[in-house]
Amino acid sequence: MKNQKDTKRQFSEAFVNKILEYFNKNPFSLCNYKQLSFALGITDRAGKVLAKSVLEQLCSDNVLIENKTGQYKLHPSKLNKNLIKKSNITGIVEMKQTGKAYIITDEPGEDIYISAANTYHALDGDYVKVFLFPKRRSRKPEGRITEIITRKKKQYVGTLEVSKNFAFLITDSKSMPVDIFISKNGLKGGKNGEKAIAKITEWPDQSKNPFGEIIEILGNPGDNNVEMISILADNDLPLSFPKNVEKEAKEIDISISDEEIKQRTDFRDTLTITIDPIDAKDFDDAVSFKQINENLFEIGVHIADVSHYVQPNTIIDKEAFERGTSVYLVDRVIPMLPENLSNFVCSLRPNEEKLCFSIIFRIDIDANINDYKIEKTIIKSDRRFNYDEVQEIIESGKGDFSSEINILNNIAKKLRQQRFEKGSINFESKDVRFVLDENSKPLSVYIKETKESNNLIEEFMLLANRKVAENIGKIRGNAKPKTFVYRIHDIPSPEKLNTFAQFVTKLGYKMKTNGQKQIAESFNRLFKEIEGKGEKNMIETIAIRTMAKAVYSTDNIGHYGLSFPYYTHFTSPIRRYPDLIVHRLLFHYLNNGSSLNKAETENICIHSSEMEKKAVSAERESIKYKQAEYLLDKIGQKFEGLISGVSKWGIYVELIGNHCEGMISLRDLDDDFYYLDEDNYQVIGQRYGEQYKLGDQLTIRVKRIDLSKKQMDFELV
């Protein structure tokens, strides 16, 4: 058998090297002689015949292997291992509806572009391995997916299109580029036009569409319950509790023994209140108040002791871990714990004795903390307030416990001021709320305003979370760090920060990006300046995207956005699994327990962060659906709106008052040909020069509503 040197003697060495170079750059590609000739720029028949002969000879020499008739790729033994290592990366797929994708890589750097032909049947959210193509000058990184390491989604929701012998599930997801083929045997009685849940069973190499089967028929599109369940299912979130979980929850002993009370600090005779939204049922936290002297106060932050009732590795605990968090859709809550626990046993309801895990502060009138202690307690809430009631007391100075509430509020304001002075950034997410009728149909849409009463509770919860994290995280003397769950927020990448600064500068705002304190001050000033302006929504959205995502981790790097070197989640164990783990770890360490397994705890952190992302996605989708439903009977009506974004497809407009956002397609602007001026955030008419810029006010007419896609289309009046 000839070797590679013999092949080079038989054919032109330069020609063979050219072919070998091609295969080294594309080590996983299958290629026949015609494709090779095209890639190398060979156009004459003689050259193509020669290329075919070289391929056959290299295959004979075990340099190439022939997978299919006439198709070759580099032999595994000839792969350049260093090149392969350098050229292969892993990351998460961000799929577009067109079929192309971007890979969010595990390593720092730009996202990797993947053409629709090179996605290897990967879907949105999949964790994949990618082979990087040699980088071309002035081109973004590009590659080919070579392996699907983990599939993200287990099921898909959509509408059935049923033919005589087969069906397709037309998925709801905008990031799903293909429909799912369903055989007649896999329909499970599904009818044309019904919404259903399907799972993918296989995806043959040569098939454009994955094959699947129906696992549940949901009902008719447009039905509120069907649509809310669809949103949950599409985000792989649970629809109900298994019967054995409900059974175990009902069998939990809820009595509080005298022996248990003796082991706890008794706050039943100390003034204690809860402050929550008016429709809340799961009261995680309460605040107690006692005046020590004129300038010194004992303020307790009492958190429901869920860990007393939910023991590790029980059926309830395993279900809570899988869920990770409660999910708050527009018209319902999908709780992490069964209702018996979340709304009754653990909930800090007024005039009921409840077990808590508490942090008690001795704090002066200027919000200086003299001392604090963390301990298990028993409380009895004197009054359940909602935020509006407390706000009225703050503003009027009258009402139940008005003196105590105003002292609490004054201390909270000083804590807030201290926080911002130390570099905390005032990110305020837009809290869209609806007034619903008895059938969950939206009657009105509004933005919930954050007031002093909200800030009061927020500051004491932030303080509790920070001090708990410090208590475990701060290393004293020669002590070794203990495994703990932190809520971390990384610093933004300088590239993203500079890009954002350039973006807002073009809109007439200033950003300083030198040093954390200056960055925080710039952000806080910017958020004040954009209040009430058309560009507010877009700037806030891009600002949040500029930042890293807050996640759970056993490796503490601090919380950048809050400017806390130590931070955790301790205050909501009824609705967040990491808080429950923090309670268990904290109690273990307060009782001199040794450090627990880091790898196991980190797995809990990773899973909890992922479930939080799914919950946020579902919550946003339910809001978008209800906004579209709100406008459904208003087609043809006129509204005033502000341009909230521009793209090559159209102008996004957020309506004043109800905050619904829709798009005016550029194709519908028939008075001129409009193009996107990306640098200046506007679209311009080519012939007459008419400009529509970010922040401009427009009068629009509601043109079309597509409830299934949660899409609102407007036209210019």
DSSP string, 18-30: HHHHHHHHSTT--
User: Are the beta carbons of 381 and 369 closer than 8 angstroms?
Assistant: no
**Quick one: which H or E segment has residue 183?**
strand 180-183
- Total domains present in the chain: 6
CA dihedral 221, 223, 229, 230 (to 10 degrees): 20
Q: Which amino acid is at 639?
A: F
Using the predicted structure, report yes or no on whether residue 9 has a pLDDT greater than 60.
no
Q: What is the DSSP string of 598-660?
A: HHHHHHHHHHHHHHHHHHHHHHHHHHHHHHHHHHHTTTT-EEEEEEEEE-SSEEEEEETTT--
- Residue 231 maps to a domain: no
Residues 404 and 353 in one domain: yes
Residues 375 and 251 in one domain: yes
245/2: higher pLDDT: 245
Strands 369-380 and 383-386: unpaired
pLDDT on residue 532: 78
**3-state DSSP call for residue 589?**
helix
Residues 446 and 555 in one domain: yes
pLDDT on residue 475: 86
Q: Place 81 in a pLDDT band, splitting at 50, 70 and 90.
A: low
Residues 518 and 658 in one domain: no
- Residue 669 maps to a domain: yes
Q: Place 1 in a pLDDT band, splitting at 50, 70 and 90.
A: very low
Q: Place 11 in a pLDDT band, splitting at 50, 70 and 90.
A: low
**3 state SS for 105-151:** ECCCCCCEEECHHHCCCCCCCCEEEEEECCCCCCCCCEEEEEEEEEC
- Domain closes at, from 26, 46, 78: 78
Using the predicted structure, report yes or no on whether residue 490 has a pLDDT greater than 70.
yes
Residues 481 and 498 in one domain: no
Q: Place 79 in a pLDDT band, splitting at 50, 70 and 90.
A: low
Strands 661-665 and 711-716: parallel
- Residue 226 maps to a domain: no
Residues 250 and 319 in one domain: yes
Using the predicted structure, report yes or no on whether residue 192 has a pLDDT greater than 70.
yes
**3-state DSSP call for residue 333?**
strand
Over range 431-443, report the average pLDDT: 93
Using the predicted structure, report yes or no on whether residue 6 has a pLDDT greater than 60.
no
Query: 15-19, 34-38, 230-234, 391-395: which range is least confident on average?
Result: 15-19
Query: 15-29, 490-504, 552-566, 668-682: which range is least confident on average?
Result: 15-29
Residues 59 and 85 in one domain: no
- CB under 8 Å to 236, separation ≥6 — which residues? 153, 154, 155, 614
CA 54 to chain centre: 52
Most confident among 105-114, 148-157, 466-475 (mean pLDDT): 466-475
Average pLDDT across the chain, whole number: 91
- Domain closes at, from 23, 56, 78: 78
Using the predicted structure, report yes or no on whether residue 73 has a pLDDT greater than 60.
yes
- Residue 500 maps to a domain: yes
Query: 171-175, 333-337, 407-411: which range is least confident on average?
Result: 171-175
pLDDT, one tens digit per residue, over 661-703 is 999 999 999 899 999 998 788 999 999 999 998 888 999 999 9
Neighbours of 20 (CB within 10 A): 19
533/436: higher pLDDT: 436
CA-closest candidate to residue 655, choices 711, 699, 625, 621: 699
Using the predicted structure, report yes or no on whether residue 247 has a pLDDT greater than 80.
yes
CATH of the domain at 22: 1.10.10.10
- Residue 234 maps to a domain: no
pLDDT on residue 449: 86
pLDDT on residue 215: 95
Q: Place 429 in a pLDDT band, splitting at 50, 70 and 90.
A: confident
Name the percent of the chain lying above pLDDT 70: 96
- Residue 228 maps to a domain: no
Residues 436 and 336 in one domain: yes
- Domain closes at, from 150, 171, 186: 150
Provide the residue range defining the domain that includes 536.
494-546
Residues 456 and 602 in one domain: yes
CATH of the domain at 679: 2.40.50.140
- Residue 199 maps to a domain: yes
CA-closest candidate to residue 640, choices 626, 624, 627, 656: 656
CA-closest candidate to residue 356, choices 384, 380, 382, 387: 380
User: Are the beta carbons of 404 and 289 closer than 8 angstroms?
Assistant: yes
Residues 262 and 322 in one domain: yes
pLDDT, one tens digit per residue, over 538-563 is 788 788 878 889 999 999 999 999 99
- CB under 8 Å to 118, separation ≥6 — which residues? 143, 144, 145
Using the predicted structure, report yes or no on whether residue 462 has a pLDDT greater than 70.
yes
Q: Could you give the CA distance from residue 105 to residue 91 in angstroms, rounded to a whole number?
A: 4
CA-closest candidate to residue 683, choices 641, 647, 644: 647
Residue 659: which region, alpha, beta or left (left: phi > 0; alpha: psi -120 to 50)? left
pLDDT on residue 531: 84
pTM, whole model, 2 decimals? 0.83
- Residue 383 maps to a domain: yes
Handedness of CA 392, 396, 397, 401 (dihedral sign): negative
Which letter does DSSP use for residue 341 in this model? I
Q: Place 214 in a pLDDT band, splitting at 50, 70 and 90.
A: very high
**3-state DSSP call for residue 700?**
strand
Residues 293 and 403 in one domain: yes
Using the predicted structure, report yes or no on whether residue 108 has a pLDDT greater than 90.
no
Q: Could you give the CA distance from residue 662 to residue 641 in angstroms, rounded to a whole number?
A: 10
pLDDT, one tens digit per residue, over 302-361 is 999 999 999 999 999 999 999 999 999 999 999 999 999 999 999 999 999 999 999 999
CA-closest candidate to residue 234, choices 151, 192, 161, 171: 171
pLDDT on residue 138: 52
Using the predicted structure, report yes or no on whether residue 282 has a pLDDT greater than 90.
yes
Residues 203 and 323 in one domain: no
Q: Could you give the CA distance from residue 316 to residue 340 in angstroms, rounded to a whole number?
A: 12
Strands 638-646 and 697-706: antiparallel
Which letter does DSSP use for residue 541 in this model? H
